[in-house]
Amino acid sequence: MQVRRYEGSTMKDALDRVRQELGPDAVILEARRSRGRGLRAFLSILGFGKAPVFEVLATVDVEEDADSRSFRAVTWVPSPLAARVDVPVTGPQTEVEVEAAESATQAAESLTHAAAPPRIREAPPAPTPGSALSPSGPLATLRVLEREAAVRARAAGLSPEMADLYARLVEEDVAEDVAFAVVHQLGTADVPQCDTERFREWAGEHAAGLVRMSGPIQIVRDRRKVVAFIGPTGVGKTTTIAKIAAGFALFAKARVALVTADTYRIAAIEQIRNYAEIIGIPCEVVHSPKDMEQVLTDLADYELVLIDTAGRSPNNPARMYELRNMIDAAMPEEIHLVLSSTTRRRDLDNLVDRFAAVGFDRVILTKLDESMTFGAIFNVHAKCAKPFSYFTNGQSVPEDIETATQSQVAGMILAKWRIAGGL
């Protein structure tokens, strides 16, 4: 790893030098105001020096330190919920069906209860390739067969209409336990006796009704509201913030300001500054929790302050700790976790667990236009029980963002059901 220090008469000058020499992928390790070094610093202390300089420590390849690697052995998992829901299963009570019912009970709980605070457990050692525990080992193959048998057993105990709905949800990458919990919830309602198309509409509306929505960000005139956005790298967080900022500034005519704490990549600062310039709103850069407190004090007259944080790897607890400190300094009224609908199911589960340590109360799902399925909506909600605030479906600012609604989800289910046929 090659680390370099750059100086400038302003912070912009120092960052410009970083960009010119290391390129847009440069990572900012430290940025501060100083008196310089050597004789210059000594003379500055005595009162004979020139104006303070701004120093930036940057690199293009950051290696994970030993302390961070040691934290990788710790995994965050949610505590088991105390409440239980009895899920009746019709048909033969085989061992597979009993196991399927128990799994569905756990999924039903997560659809109706908020996730408990996380606890820490030691992660098991990584499996070696070819071993029984490896993804391609014999035990993994056995689990796949057991899961397929459980799916068939669950469907066998459902009515033809509910079995078809269950199959459609599973095809849309909804986790089997979550899909079965959905059809079980619908099965307890009064299923209408009607034609196929009307039943599809009813089923889509009721399935979508299990997913909570928070509505858009609400502001009060002449009162400041601070909203923070967190999430992993590459989910479109900065673009999403720009869409929201443009909507409030251009259409609602609100006084909006942007704050970015994403100082790890020089390109990230330029990106959000460009958006702010186009929209015509201020953009402030913060490098520490102390900076955050000062900047928010300076922005007291704005009605909406949107905070963009650095994309974090959830597997680096040191970085997550830094993020939590920045959020604590900002004290936002809302924290939105931004996730991509194109992320694999197991990775989404991991992201929700890890960012729960930072804290969030709403979820934004991005890149719906790039995903072949809508399963992430149900899986994420079942995992964290937090409401959705926005869905995004493209890169255009500010057009490609919508307030998340249950009618949208119902429309997705019905559209896919019609395309696939069935019943």
Residue 154: the pLDDT is: 64
Q: Where are the beta strands (DSSP E) in 1-143?
A: 3-8, 27-34, 53-59, 74-78, 118-122
| Whether residue 238 is found in the same domain as residue 284 | yes
- What pLDDT sits at residue 81? 27
Choosing from 180, 208, 236, the residue where a domain stops is: 208
Q: For residues 100 and 334, which has the higher predicted lDDT (pLDDT)?
A: 334
Establish if 413 belongs to a structural domain.
no
Q: Which one is predicted more confidently, 76 or 144?
A: 144
| Same-domain pairing of 236 and 314 | yes
CATH number of the domain within which 312 lies = 3.40.50.300
Q: Does 118 map to a domain?
A: yes
**Residue 146 sits in the same domain as residue 290:** no
- pLDDT for position 376: 92
Mean pLDDT of 48-76: 49
Q: Do residue 179 and residue 48 come from a single domain?
A: no
Please tell me whether residues 293 and 389 are part of one structural domain: yes
The parent domain of residue 312 ranges over 225-404
Under a CB-based contact definition with an 8 Å cutoff, are residues 367 and 195 in contact? no
Q: Are 229 and 365 in contact (CB under 8 A)?
A: no
Q: Which of 182, 208, 234 is the last residue of a domain?
A: 208
In this structure, the answer to whether residues 260 and 385 fall within a common structural domain is yes
Is 410 inside any structural domain? no
Mean pLDDT taken over the chain:
74
pLDDT tens-digit map of 155-186:
667 777 788 888 888 888 888 888 888 888 88
Domain endpoint, select from 63, 84, 112:
63
Do residues 167 and 241 share a domain? Answer: no
Domain identity same for 295 and 384: yes
**One domain for residues 59 and 79:** no
Least confident of 126-135, 234-243, 300-309: 126-135
pLDDT of residue 90: 39
Assess if residue 415 is contained within a domain.
no
Residue 219 lies in a domain: no
Q: Tell me how far apart the alpha carbons of residues 69 and 44 are, in angstroms, rounded to a whole number.
A: 40
Least confident among 50-64, 171-185, 224-238: 50-64
Most confident of 3-7, 284-288, 417-421: 284-288
pLDDT over threshold 60, residue 282: yes
pLDDT tens digits, 92-108: 444 444 444 455 445 54
| pLDDT greater at residue 346 or residue 2 | 346
Could you give the number of structural domains in the chain?
A: 3
Nearest to 235 by CA among 309, 164, 184: 309
Residues 241 and 376 in one domain: yes
Integer CA distances (angstroms), 345 to 145, 170, 380, in order: 19, 12, 9
Q: Is residue 137's pLDDT more than 50?
A: yes
Give the pLDDT band (50/70/90) at residue 255: very high
Residue 345 inside a domain? The answer is yes
409: in domain: no
Identify whether residues 13 and 48 lie together within a single domain: yes
215 lies in some domain = no
Residues 234 and 375 in one domain: yes
